[in-house]
Amino acid sequence: MRPLARRWLSRFAMAFLVIAAVLAWEAYQSAAGHRGPTPQWRILLYFLSAAMAFVLGAEGMRQRHRRHDDTSNESSDHKLP
């Protein structure tokens, strides 16, 4: 993944998780009938969008909390002697 994409993904990680929660709540409310008659394709679209936003948020959190070691992917304190 490109560095610019990693940076923006890590910046928007929490927003993606909030959006995922809102979409999942809307899907649940629509499926339970609290939003009136809702087409099945819209409920499915809500759930799929929530899953995609959750995946993007999780990947953003991973990018945000990973170590940035330019020499290799492994940290120097985990190498064997």
Is 46 within a domain?
yes
52: closest CA among 31, 27, 23, 29? Answer: 23
- Residue 73: how many other CB atoms lie within 10 Å: 7
So what's the pLDDT on residue 71?
46
Domain encompassing residue 48: 1-7+19-66
Is 54 within a domain?
yes
So what's the pLDDT on residue 70?
52
Is 74 within a domain?
no
Is 13 within a domain?
no
Question: What is the chain's pLDDT, residue by residue, as a tens digit (81 residues)?
Answer: 788 888 888 899 999 999 999 999 999 999 999 989 999 999 999 999 999 999 999 999 998 888 766 544 544 455 555
Which two structure tokens, joined as six digits, stand for 38?
A: 């809702």
Q: Kindly provide the b/e burial profile for residues 15-43, where b requires at least 16 CB atoms within 10 angstroms of the residue's own CB.
A: ebbebbeebbebbeebeeeeeeebeeeeb
> How many distinct structural domains can be found in the chain?
1
Is 79 within a domain?
no
Is 56 within a domain?
yes
Predicted TM-score (pTM) of this structure: 0.75
